[in-house]
Amino acid sequence: MNDRANELFKEGLKHEESYDFESAKKVYKELLANVKDSKTAEKTRSRMEDMDDLIAEKEIYKRIDENGKRVLTDIGINIAESQELMDILVEADAIDFESDTAVFVPLKRDFIDRCLENIPREMPEDPGMNCFGTGATPPFLKRPGDEELRAASKDEFKRIVQVVGEHSDTAGIFSLPVAFDKSISSYEVAKLMEQGFAGLKMTTTKAMTDDEILFLKGKDHWLDGTSLITSLAPMPTMVDAFLRSARTGTNLLLLDLTIAGASGPGSPEALLTQIHAQVMFMMVLAQTVNPGVSCMHGGIPGVVETGGDLSYSSRHQPLINAAMARLNTWITKFPSAQSGGSTSISEMNETAVMESELSRNTLRKYGSHIIRHSLGAMGSLNFFSIEKFVEDCEREKRSCKIFNEAPKDKGIIPLYFPADDKTLDGIKEIAEKGNPKSAEHTLRNVESFMKWEKTINDAARKKLYYPQLSDTVIERIRKGEMIP
């Protein structure tokens, strides 16, 4: 029976790896009814304890995916002032002119579904799960002993490329790490990155000429980072650049950095729903002008600290980005790139490096696809430091070794993602009022992230996963700060 029991247990884990928790639960239930080996029974009970929570969590992600589409059909995107976008979608017969309930311009559901079906789910140069790297294009390069705030020069950017190339065994994606001055162009930057780093790369093409953007076309190891929608409306300065990238056929990384309670809803579910809707609108538009163009989901939910500033030191930041990643890896199957592994601290010190390490480890344990901004970024994405990048890489090598050597019988860790049955009402209220800060839904959810963290903390008191690898939750336990 022991051999059969071990086979069944491995079968249950495989179902978990494919996010089929209903099937995993059936396997574990059968095991518990028949197993005699105490060790196998203990491992099985541990997994069985998590199944109902994982099943419930997956159902919420399904609802977020569905409600994201309903945002586009029932609430709409405020594109009425963009004649070019209106013309494109009218010509494609994408707009639901029969709707009498939408706040803005609604899309037809069948059109949305057809466009999303066109998006490739496979990446030829997929770096795999838990891929950490640079990114965010902070405006300032951090220089030891120099407090002047300025972008990187051409020589400094060359040095950055050299250092990142030397750590290509750790950095899974070389995303544009810092802004640069007029001594070098966007095209020259891309060529330097191409020469110095063989893996997956991302840059922005807005400042490139029509000829220069062709440098990225047809290259599976390049992503063209672009954006269009914020607060349910297009950014006028991004329309031309977005459409050019989509029509050119570069591999699009569609970025949305909506911040809870500031530029988007205050509850975790509503925040992810609005971000997902906005990214899907960009996907639909890209597929409308160029069917089949590659689109990566770049939804990056942000959280704030006391005072309202974006906070990468917040313990909620890796949690909400892990949930965003799960929406895609579990449900939509879109290639996905989120944010984490950074800090709000602007000085290169042990605390800044430790906060980044704990954030990466939290994302690693919950499982994410691609995480940008996690190596070298600091000051809530306002600075890039070569020194911090090198130290982050050293910490990341150590964390990977510990994680890879840990027993592989832990299964998937529940995130206990909180439900919000008023998600669509909240997003519609914000759309009508024009500002999440004045919405009743936002006020009702002021403590929603804190309550979610407490749920995770309470569960961690009973069972820890990978205790040999510290993360944001374990660090709170060690400090005796389990209650937010």
Q: What is the CA radius of gyration of the chain?
A: 23
Q: Look at residue 109 in the predicted model and tell me its pLDDT.
A: 98
Helix and strand numbers (H, E) in the chain are 16, 13
Alpha-carbon distance values, 215 to 164, 204, 223 (Å)? 21, 12, 11
* Size of the chain, expressed as the number of residues it contains: 484
Q: Look at residue 127 in the predicted model and tell me its pLDDT.
A: 96
Q: Look at residue 483 in the predicted model and tell me its pLDDT.
A: 44
Kindly give the residue spans of alpha helices, DSSP state H, lying in 205-261.
239-248
CATH topology (fold) of 83-405:
TIM Barrel (3.20.20)
Hey, what amino acid is at 364?
R
> Is 154 exposed, middle or buried, given 0-12, 13-18 or 19+ CB atoms closer than 10 A?
middle
Q: Where are the domains of the chain?
A: 2-63, 83-405
Cα 361 from Cα 367, distance rounded (Å)? 10
pTM score, two decimals?
Answer: 0.97
Q: Look at residue 408 in the predicted model and tell me its pLDDT.
A: 85
243 phi, psi to nearest 5 deg: -65, -35
Bridge partner residues of 202 (DSSP): 175, 223
SS3 224: strand
Mean pLDDT by 10 residues, the chain (484 residues): 84 98 97 86 95 98 98 98 98 97 97 98 96 95 93 98 98 98 98 98 98 98 98 98 98 98 97 98 98 98 89 97 98 98 97 98 97 97 98 98 92 98 98 95 97 95 92 84 47
Kindly give the residue spans of alpha helices, DSSP state H, lying in 337-422.
350-366, 386-405
Cα 146 from Cα 223, distance rounded (Å)? 33
Tell me the two tokens of residue 381: 């994405």
DSSP strands (E only) in 71-185? 131-132, 140-142, 173-175
Tell me the two tokens of residue 311: 């906070």
